[in-house]
Chain A
Amino acid sequence: DGGITQSPKYLFRKEGQNVTLSCEQNLNHDAMYWYRQDPGQGLRLIYYSQIVNDFQKGDIAEGYSVSREKKESFPLTVTSAQKNPTAFYLCASSFIPGTAYTDTQYFGPGTRLTVL
């Protein structure tokens, strides 16, 4: 059963705590992405990675960190430095843009993070 999974689906955090969101894919994709979605807004790119042990900042990387130790996994840590972390977080994966006939992104089900 191929796909991309995220866990947990809902996450509650107290202010000042770091929290890590999980993202795993078995689609053999090299590229993985983290997006943040706020109500009524589009997806904003936080971080992306095209190869193991390498990743780049997106448009809103401040207060977030990532790692890419395995091709299949791309966890996102929301640190206490993120001023407004309550949001819906989406992980996606794809073939590296420009290397395949189609560069569509496959999304996970999302994690809704609420800071109390």
Chain B
Amino acid sequence: SQKIEQNSEALNIQEGKTATLTCNYTNYSPAYLQWYRQDPGRGPVFLLLIRENEKEKRKERLKVTFDTTLKQSLFHITASQPADSATYLCAVYNQGGKLIFGQGTELSVKP
């Protein structure tokens, strides 16, 4: 079955630096991959979706890449700010039509 693996270790970076989070999936390559942000005690919020024919997608300070050969997506936040501190989840639909989430990577941006 499809599995999503994200780095379970928290990522601590300095304000202004670029944060890079990794999402790896097993088995088949999905048609698209989604990234969500979750703040403590709140529901996830959708950020970006990237399709298999898109190598890169940008939205303001966010950039997502999708490498179907490596079965990997990278999520970048440039010029990071303390307000970017949160847990970031990646998700793909499995062949049964269910959205499968990774366990998330916690990002902490220090001033």
Contact = CB atoms under 8 A, between A and B. Distances in A.
Interface stretch (B38-46, B59-67, B75-83): B38-46
Interface size of B as a range: 10 to 19
B43 A42 contact: no
B72 interface: no
Contacts of A2: none
A92 interface: yes
B98 A108 contact: no
B24 interface: no
A110 B103 contact: no
Label chain A's interface by main secondary structure: loop
A17 to B, nearest CB: 24
Interface in B21-79: 34, 41-46, 49
B93 A112 contact: no
A110 B43 contact: yes
Contacts of B101: 42-43
Nearest to B93: A97
Contacts of A110: 41-43
B103 A42 contact: yes
